[in-house]
């Protein structure tokens, strides 16, 4: 539940035949993902060979990530090997977090393998 844009509590679905309203450990810990006093609220960036972190806007950080991923993909994308179409890059990988659910992981897999041609897409829950 939330009030005035702030998270108040997280509850399970009492009609769920699996959990019967109880939260799994991940669900119970989700509250702290948003409310913990040590949660970083600003983007931190450390330039190559720099010793200090600097703050930057989220928009700028997202643009930097997108530019670097796209440049790496363009530079390393392989369309054919030994006469066979492969359409992939081995220069970029993705490691998902355990807080993602099945639906989110499915979309990530579709985007990164089908959209960007990444070969290595994994999740820390498997490791």
Q: Is 61 part of any domain?
A: no
Please check whether residue 3 lies inside any domain of the structure.
no
Please state, for a pLDDT cut of 90, what percent of the chain lies above it. 45
Q: Over the stretch 47-72, which tens digit does the pLDDT of each residue have?
A: 999 999 999 999 999 999 999 999 99
Three-state DSSP string of 65-122: HHHHHHHHHHHHCEEEECCEEEEEEEEEEEEECCCCCHHHHHHHHHHHHHHCCEEEEE
Question: Does residue 98 belong to any structural domain of this protein?
Answer: yes
Residues facing 89 on adjacent strands: 118
Question: Residue 30's closest CA among 96, 105, 98?
Answer: 98
Residue 85 lies in a domain: yes
Residue 127 has pLDDT above 80, yes or no: no
Would residue 12 count as lying in a domain? no
| Residue 30 covered by a domain | no
Number of domains in the chain: 1
User: What span, in angstroms and rounded, lies between the C-alpha atoms of 64 and 89?
Assistant: 19
Provide the pLDDT confidence category of residue 113 given band limits of 50, 70 and 90. very high
Tokens of 121: 């897409």
Taking residues 94-115, what's their average pLDDT?
88
Residue 117 lies in domain:
77-127
Average pLDDT over residues 28-39: 86
The verdict on pTM exceeding 0.85 is: no
Q: Which of 60, 75, 58, 77 has its CA nearest to residue 115?
A: 77
């Amino acid at each position: 539940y939330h009030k005035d844009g702030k998270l108040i509590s997280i509850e399970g679905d009492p009609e769920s035949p699996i959990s019967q309203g109880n939260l799994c450990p991940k669900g119970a810990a989700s509250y702290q993902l948003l409310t913990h006093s040590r949660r970083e609220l600003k983007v931190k960036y450390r330039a190559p060979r720099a010793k200090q972190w600097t703050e930057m806007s989220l928009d700028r950080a997202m643009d930097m990530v997108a530019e670097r991923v796209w440049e790496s993909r363009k530079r390393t994308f392989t369309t054919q090997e030994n006469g066979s179409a492969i359409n992939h890059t081995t220069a970029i990988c993705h490691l998902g977090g355990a807080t993602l659910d099945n639906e989110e992981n499915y979309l990530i897999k579709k985007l990164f393998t089908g959209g960007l041609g990444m070969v290595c897409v994994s999740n820390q829950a498997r490791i």
